[in-house]
Structure 1
Amino acid sequence: MDALTDARDLVAERFPDATWAMLTGSVLGPDRTAGSDLDIVVLRGEEEPGYRESLYFRGWPVELFVHTPARLAVSLERELAQRKPSTHRMIARGVPLLGEPGDLQVRCAGVLAAGPPPLSGAEGDRLRYGLTDLLDDHKHAVDVGERAVIAAAVWTESARVALAFAGRWLSSGKWLLRELRALDSDFADRWLAARDEPAAFAAEVLAKAGGPLFEGYRA
């Protein structure tokens, strides 16, 4: 199937008056799989509502990210605060389908390359406290099911803490692993190997972040 042609036809049908629209995501690159969908970012005027919608079009699963200028500005600002640049990444790596986004792609690419803002002391303390608490729960868990659930949380949070203290972007799902591999492929391999028994790996991450934090923590 021709992703670009089908995406252009969908945009022409659904958003003929859009300011611009672009196709983005794994369907455009080497990470494309049989399940890759059409991720389409659309910018419309302020008089139209913004929303996210999932649908099928010519056999494609489609994810629409429809923005107004104000909604897009808020989304980009919120992502910076959360250190999770999903929309920046989509725009920076997208292919225009309709109209032109001007210098927005260049600006989003620049944000991605520069990395997130410096981690504040309060943010670092919150991350250290959270992982300390999870490790304590894991250590003392007696219910097998609860221990398994806590272990999964410890494993995921250890990756987030490592990325945050390394000054890297955070993410979830497949992008969490991609960010870890971009940081250090050997470290990412050790993280994967620690999936079932993550406590020792998480303790190592916590030590590098400044150590456990419980007594005296206030938020």
Structure 2
Amino acid sequence: MEDIMRLKPIEAAQQFIFKHFPNCQGTLLAGSVVRGEATDTSDLDIVVFDKDLISPYRESFIDFGWAIEVFVHNLTSYKHFFESDCEVARPSLPRMGSEGIILKDDGIIEPIKKEAKEILDQGPKKWSDETIKTKRYFITDALDDLIGCKYRAEEIFIANTLAELVSEFYLRSNLQWIGTSKWMVRSLKQYDRKFANHFVEAFDVLYRTGDKNKVVQLVDKVLEPYGGQLFDGFSLGKNQPQ
């Protein structure tokens, strides 16, 4: 896709909707172009609401000079996706609903945007003590693997797993939404920029130099308020005496 052929995001999105979904009840443009974070490879994320839709779907296009991801829902299906996103604490659709720019509205969008914002403001469900205990164990196990690893190839992927576990633990234990891939760091920055910088630095040093000390210190800091590392005595699925 050449830049000379690329329309401005809102113009491209509006023309796309007119071409592909002329009879829909409402649409939102969301994603990086709305947040001012677009890059040369960013696409347009468009949410479409259509009362005649039987089942929701996602589809990809290249049109009007853009890669376009479209998320199509009826006025019932989006609620299920709001709920399922909240269950895993990754509010993809609520975030798009809340931040999205209205492209078309037959009187349905504002209530949806309000619902999405309320979900985001409420935050995810609090972890139980048992869940925290289990997560502490898996973080400890991954950290032990990292510390003892003598093979660089294996070390890289152990570190990947540990980074995901630690970011998830820090955010969920503080009643915050989580993310994957680029949203892992974005979620950390949104909640605690100082911690996010320490987090990135620790793993950056590990990946560049192989020095594990900053990662070990980071993990200990994250787990310390909840009892620290956990291995001895942990059990999972064991029947308790009556």
Asked whether the two chains share a fold, i.e. TM above 0.5, the reply is: yes
The equivalent residue for 1:40 is 46
Tell whether the 8 Å contact from 1:79 to 1:86 is kept in structure 2 after alignment: yes
Question: Which residue matches 1:16?
Answer: 22
Matched, 1:62 2:68: yes
Evaluate the alpha carbon distance shift between residue 126 and residue 13 of structure 1 in structure 2; reply closer, same or farther with a 3 A threshold.
Answer: farther
Structure 1 counterpart of 2:150:
142
Is 1:216–2:234 an aligned residue pair? yes
Q: Aligned letter for 1:159?
A: S
Q: How does 1:46-125 map to 2 (within 5 A)?
A: 47-99=53-105, 100-125=108-133
Shift of 1:47: 4.3
Q: CA deviation at 1:216?
A: 2.9
Offset at 1:76?
0.6
Structure with bigger RCO (C-alpha 8 Å, 6+ apart): 1
Match of 1:168 among 153, 170, 176: 176
Q: 1:193: Cα distance to partner?
A: 0.8
Q: 2:12 aligns with which of 6, 14, 17?
A: 6
After TM superposition, give the deviation of residue 212 of structure 1 in Å: 2.3
* Runs of 4 or more above 6 Å deviation: none
Deviations 1:172-219 (A, max 9, x none): 222222221222222111111111132331232122333223323325
Q: State how far apart, in whole Å, the 1-side matches of 2:60 and 2:22 are.
A: 19
Query: Does the Cα contact within 8 Å between 1:37 and 1:63 map onto a contact in 2?
Result: yes
Q: Which position in structure 1 is the counterpart of 2:217?
A: 200
* Structure 2 residue identity aligned to 1:201: L
> What pairs up with 1:121-136 in 2 under 5 angstroms?
121-136=129-144
Which residue number corresponds to residue 151 of structure 1? 159
Structure 2, unaligned runs of 5 or more: 1-6, 207-211, 238-242
Amino acid at match of 1:58: F
**What's the TM-score, normalizing by structure 2?**
0.83
In 1, are the aligned partners of 2:137 and 2:234 still within 8 Å (CA)?
A: no
RMSD (Å), alpha carbons: 1.9
**Rg larger in 1 or in 2?**
2
The runs of 5 or more residues in structure 1 that have no matched partner are none
What displacement does 1:68 show?
2.7
1:180 equivalent in alignment to 2:197: no
Deviation at 1:163, TM superposition (A): 0.8
2:209 alignment counterpart: none
Which letter maps to 1:204? Answer: K
TM-score, normalized by length of structure 1? 0.91
| Whole-angstrom CA distance in 1 between matches of 2:194 and 2:53 | 50
